[in-house]
Amino acid sequence: MKSLGSKAKGVRLERMKASPRWAGEGFRNRHPILPGLRDPSAPMPTWTDFFCTDDRRTPARPLPSMSPLEAWRRKPDSGLRATWLGHSTVLIEIDGVRVLTDPVWGPRASPLRLAGPKRFQPVPLALREMPPVDLVIISHDHYDHLDYPTIRALARSEVPFVTSLGVGAHLESWGIAPERITELDWWESHQLPTAGVRVTAAPSQHFSGRTMKTRNATLWSSFVVRSERHGVFFSGDTGLTTEYEEIRARLGPFDLVMLEIGAWNAAWGDMHLGPENALKAFALLGGGAFLPVHWGTFALAMHAWDQPAELLLELGPRTGAQLLMPRLGEPVEPALASGRVDPWWRNVDSAGQITGPESNGGQLPTMMPWPVD
């Protein structure tokens, strides 16, 4: 099955084995895991829990969203703008350069077309409507971050990729030319050749694998995107780690910090942040504007679909965090943000239909077709 990806070999594998993160047969989290992040008494959710339990794990209808195309036609006044397109997919516009993180347009976070977590929220626009992108970042190889149909579609373009060690094997097997792929170990950087933007891979506390037999066969990373004027941090997937202090010291400060808040469970609390630990990570990184990601698209844990947003909105003001919580497809400039949060998600499960020019009217926009090989 091509969607499973491909194993690294040859020169790529030798470079992976030379990484300080490599141990034995795969990569490992080398930094001591903080105590108390995982509850050892918490039961691991079963397949029955995931597929036979509702508990508001998905919204009653699609979330309000807007097309960013008109806004994207104008350059950001401050030079830095971000548009959350769902889950961990964000278009970053930084001093004239467009960077797309973990693009997922496919219908499921799964290798299968008819099984696995199905998205409850469409992307605000079809992939074919996207403007030219200068760089795609792939944080790691899990299905909700490395999406086979999306990569197959992007293979038809010329966009380059920056990713973690080993992930390039998947990309190549899906049609991305080797010269378009840059794989980084932590603290390694890639300078875009035609722009003053540098991308650096940094630590995260997570794992990888597209099958049980390929667990930790590729590296996972956070990423920093920096121009002469601005700095952006993207967490990928991670648990709370004091390595964020070193990231701040070596790569900060940051104008925009994008941290995951969804898909948290006490049974894997050391591998995902959740809102409370995301705020602790945000403090370690030194602040900036906080744009939460990794929520509002897939039901990947047992909590209610809106619990991450509600909890972040409750806890954030107590810490003094500057929260950016736009609707899907709503471009925001951190330097021009008002500091006020409109909890737009609260009306989704109430009676009545979402309407208006900035709504999707309850209809799914045209999704990218699954490529046929």
Confidence at residue 156, expressed as pLDDT on a 0 to 100 scale: 97
* Range from 268-272, 314-318, 338-342 carrying the lowest mean pLDDT: 338-342
Taking the CA of residue 140 as centre, how many other CA atoms within 13 Å lie in the half-sphere pointing to its CB? Answer: 27
Confidence at residue 43, expressed as pLDDT on a 0 to 100 scale: 87
Confidence at residue 51, expressed as pLDDT on a 0 to 100 scale: 72
How far CA 139 is from CA of 51, 66, 121, 229, 235, in Å, comes to: 27, 26, 21, 24, 8
Average pLDDT, integer, range 102-113: 95
Confidence at residue 87, expressed as pLDDT on a 0 to 100 scale: 98
Confidence at residue 330, expressed as pLDDT on a 0 to 100 scale: 98
pLDDT at residue 103 greater than cutoff 80:
yes
d(CA 320, CA 7): 45
* Range from 76-80, 145-149, 276-280, 350-354 carrying the lowest mean pLDDT: 350-354
How far CA 209 is from CA of 37, 66, 128, in Å, comes to: 22, 33, 29
The 3-state DSSP class for residue 11 equals helix
Burial of residue 235 (number of CB atoms within 10 Å: 0-12, 13-18, 19+):
buried
d(CA 16, CA 205): 18
pTM of the model: 0.93
Confidence at residue 49, expressed as pLDDT on a 0 to 100 scale: 78
d(CA 3, CA 135): 22
d(CA 344, CA 244): 30
d(CA 237, CA 221): 8
pLDDT at residue 194 greater than cutoff 90:
no
pLDDT at residue 54 greater than cutoff 80:
no
pLDDT at residue 148 greater than cutoff 60:
yes
**CATH number for the domain harbouring residue 189:** 3.60.15.10
Number of domains in the chain: 1
Per the listing, tokens 């909105």 go with 313
Q: What is the pLDDT of residues 301-333, one digit of tens each?
A: 999 999 999 999 999 999 999 999 999 999 999
On whether residue 145 sits in a domain, the answer given is yes
Burial of residue 111 (number of CB atoms within 10 Å: 0-12, 13-18, 19+):
middle
pLDDT at residue 363 greater than cutoff 60:
no
What confidence category does residue 350 fall into, taking pLDDT thresholds of 50, 70 and 90?
confident
d(CA 129, CA 107): 17
User: Do 127 and 367 contact (CB within 8 A), yes or no?
Assistant: no
pLDDT at residue 346 greater than cutoff 90:
yes
User: Do 19 and 28 contact (CB within 8 A), yes or no?
Assistant: no
| Percent of the chain whose predicted confidence (pLDDT) is above 90 | 85
On whether residue 367 sits in a domain, the answer given is no
d(CA 250, CA 245): 9
Average pLDDT, integer, range 272-276: 98
On whether residue 34 sits in a domain, the answer given is no
> Could you tell me the residue range of the domain that residue 199 belongs to?
2-29+46-330
pLDDT at residue 358 greater than cutoff 60:
no
Per the listing, tokens 């926009």 go with 365
Taking the CA of residue 56 as centre, how many other CA atoms within 13 Å lie in the half-sphere pointing to its CB? Answer: 10
| Nearest to 148, CA basis, from 108, 89, 91 | 108
On whether residue 267 sits in a domain, the answer given is yes
What confidence category does residue 138 fall into, taking pLDDT thresholds of 50, 70 and 90?
very high
Beta strand extents in 207-364 (DSSP E only): 222-226, 231-234, 256-260, 289-293, 322-323
On whether residue 275 sits in a domain, the answer given is yes
User: Do 203 and 177 contact (CB within 8 A), yes or no?
Assistant: no
Confidence at residue 339, expressed as pLDDT on a 0 to 100 scale: 86
On whether residue 369 sits in a domain, the answer given is no
On whether residue 172 sits in a domain, the answer given is yes
* Range from 50-59, 124-133, 348-357 carrying the lowest mean pLDDT: 348-357
d(CA 82, CA 90): 7
d(CA 33, CA 54): 32
Average pLDDT, integer, range 179-199: 95
What confidence category does residue 50 fall into, taking pLDDT thresholds of 50, 70 and 90?
confident
On whether residue 274 sits in a domain, the answer given is yes
What confidence category does residue 367 fall into, taking pLDDT thresholds of 50, 70 and 90?
very low
pLDDT at residue 355 greater than cutoff 50:
no
Confidence at residue 368, expressed as pLDDT on a 0 to 100 scale: 37
The stretches of 124-232 forming alpha helices (DSSP H) are 148-154, 168-173
